[in-house]
Amino acid sequence: MNLKIPTVVALVSVLFQAASPAQCQSPDERSASKPIQVLLITGGCCHDYDFQTKAMQLAAKDKSLPVNWTVVNQGGKGTKAMIDFYKNPKWYEGFDVVIHNECFADTDDPEYIRGITKPHREGVNALVIHCAMHTYRSADVDDWRAFLGVTSRRHDHQSEYPVTVTAPDHPTMKDIPKDGYRSAKDELYIIEKVWPTTKVLATSKSEKDGKEHPVYWANQYGDARVFGTTYGHSNETFSDPVFLATIVNGIRWAAGK
């Protein structure tokens, strides 16, 4: 077949335009641009969960992190609940990261708790925020505390606490200034125990006794990556761009991005 040069050029142009951006991407690039499937479990006592949820969603968008959000806010506003969502034994399926931002300190049923921790131990990655550390604190079993990576049962007063980064090379810490950064007005959780699988990433000092307590950390719980922070009580914290950037970094890290 004898094609004139302009016809060949036209054919090449059509073929080039027909190739979609996804077809031109490498497998790694396609994986990086694929939305992270995030399940946010929230609700319970003492916090403005609607504000906090919206703040995290907007922060991920502002940081150009593609996320598909599923939000479960059940259990009312008290300290004890066994939410309906967990009645499905496959509650975790389809999610890359589960964010626990709930506050149910007086729920203590061991089998209920283990129905939550078992999928995490088997590889469901997670973020744990603020009162998640006091959730299930009445329970005798340690499963939830091992999942969190720290044990806490009480907190100091609200203040603007200096934050000292102890693992500056960890990817979640990249947006926290190395000098002079203070939290928004928030509670300092007293950490009784750091579990052996936990790496402390940043600390703050108690204004009462001068003891340093982890405020950001990374935990390896079985096959799961868990990023945690004890900050997150106030709307001021969820308006702090440094805190929000760190939460987004935590989502990215937990998802392996």
The residue among 173, 256, 254, 192 whose CA lies nearest residue 221 is 254
Q: Minimal CA–CA distance to 135: which of 30, 45, 206, 231?
A: 45
Using CB atoms within 10 Å of the CB of residue 40, give its burial: 0 to 12 exposed, 13 to 18 middle, 19+ buried.
buried
For residue 43, the surrounding DSSP H or E stretch is strand 36-44
Per-residue model confidence (pLDDT) at position 31: 54
List alpha helices for the chain, DSSP H.
5-18, 21-24, 27-33, 49-62, 110-121, 143-148, 241-254
Q: What's the rounded Cα separation, in Å, for the pair 47 and 70?
A: 19
pLDDT higher than 70, residue 13: no
Residue 113 identity (one-letter amino acid): I
- Write down the pLDDT at residue 33: 75
Q: What does DSSP say about strands 212-221 and 224-229: parallel, antiparallel, or unpaired?
A: antiparallel
Range in 29-33, 121-125, 192-196, 245-249 the model is least confident about: 29-33
Domain residue ranges in the chain: 29-254
* Residue 247 reports pLDDT greater than 90: yes
Neighbours of 227 (CB within 10 A): 27
Report DSSP state, residue 88: S
Residue pair 253/172 in contact by the 8 Å Cβ criterion? yes
Contact yes or no for 94/193 (Cβ under 8 A) = no
Identify the CATH class of 29-254: alpha beta
CA triple 229-92-131, angle to 5 deg:
25
Bridge partners of residue 72, in order along the sequence? 41
End-to-end CA distance of the chain: give it in Å, rounded: 49
| Single pTM value for the model | 0.88
Quick: pLDDT tens for 44-56.
999 999 999 999 9
Question: Rounded to 5 degrees, what are φ and ψ at 240?
Answer: -85, 115
Any idea how long the chain is? 257
Q: Are 172 and 218 in contact (CB under 8 A)?
A: yes
Tens of pLDDT, residue by residue over 30-85, are 556 799 999 999 999 999 999 999 999 999 999 999 999 999 999 999 999 999 99
Phi, psi torsion values for 119, nearest 5 degrees? -60, -35
pLDDT in tens, 129-170: 999 999 999 999 999 999 999 999 999 999 999 999 999 999
